[in-house]
């Protein structure tokens, strides 16, 4: 699976949109981009995934660049409960495992 | 709808002992995966079970083994425990039709002394 690069940590203001970047420059055509988050002392939580089109659900939006080498997860109105480690993962279609890295520690500040 | 439940939540063992961790998958989910998460690291894939058969394995030695039962629940067994086995063990269930959408339990925190 292609490797992803995320910031180690970032702060976001409560009530503002949080834009979480991820680079996956070696991604290939059959690889999906997945986002998970892990709130302290809990198991990871699925957020969203996409292949090449932008995606939106009740939790977040996923913007994938046209060349697919990077993506941004957008939390539209960050709340204190969004403080978590966010993982950007690339998964080959047909592969049954997720390769979590160290993720991006996001802290939402009042 | 019942989520993924794991037991026990915490346990302490000594080196050389054996441990069994249990997982009940979310209702309707036929696939179970196990991950190990060391402190400060992301989860690492151990193995996955589908239809009671191992369906992929990560870079873990054979002393890590598992089972899946007809009701899709699962066990993770670790023999000859080592200090480095101290970690949070996470179980996740999913549908075979949506392999990347995992639903995780809260984990079992294992400490090996």
pLDDT above 90 (res B31)? yes
User: Which segments of chain A have a pLDDT < 70?
Assistant: 1-2
Over residues B45-60, the mean pLDDT reads 94
| Contact call for B45 and A102, based on CB within 8 A | no
Question: What whole-number percentage of chain B has pLDDT above 90?
Answer: 90
CA-based nearest residue in chain B for residue A39:
B106
- Per the CB < 8 A criterion, the answer to whether A107 and A9 are in contact is yes
Nearest to A44 among B55, B56, B104 (CB): B104
- Residue B65: the pLDDT is 97
Question: pLDDT at position B34, please?
Answer: 98
Count of CB atoms within 10 A of residue A11's CB?
11
List Cβ neighbours of B76 (8 Å cut-off, separation of 6 or more).
B20, B21, B23, B34, B46, B64, B65, B66, B89, B91
A97 interaction partners in chain B (CB closer than 8 Å): 33, 45, 48, 56, 58
- Say how many C-beta atoms besides its own lie within 10 A of residue B48's C-beta: 25
């Amino acid at each position: 699976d292609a490797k992803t690069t995320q910031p180690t940590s970032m702060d976001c203001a409560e009530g503002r949109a949080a834009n979480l970047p991820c680079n996956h420059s070696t991604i290939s055509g059959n690889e999906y981009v997945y986002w998970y988050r892990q709130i302290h002392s809990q198991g990871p939580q699925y957020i969203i995934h996409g292949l090449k089109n932008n995606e939106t659900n009740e939790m977040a939006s996923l913007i994938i660049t046209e060349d697919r080498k990077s993506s941004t997860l957008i939390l539209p109105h960050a709340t204190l409960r969004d403080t978590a480690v966010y993982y950007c993962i690339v998964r080959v279609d047909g592969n049954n495992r997720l390769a979590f890295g160290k993720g991006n520690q996001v802290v939402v500040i009042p | 709808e019942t989520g993924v439940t794991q037991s026990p939540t915490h346990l302490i063992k000594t080196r050389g002992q054996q441990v069994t961790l249990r997982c009940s998958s979310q209702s309707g989910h036929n696939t179970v995966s196990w991950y190990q998460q060391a402190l400060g690291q992301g989860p690492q894939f151990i193995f996955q079970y589908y239809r009671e058969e191992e369906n992929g394995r990560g870079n873990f030695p054979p002393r890590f083994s598992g089972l899946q039962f007809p009701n899709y629940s699962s066990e993770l067994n670790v023999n000859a425990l080592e200090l480095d086995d101290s970690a949070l063990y996470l179980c996740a269930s999913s549908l075979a039709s949506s392999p990347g959408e995992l639903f995780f339990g809260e984990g079992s925190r294992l400490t090996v002394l």
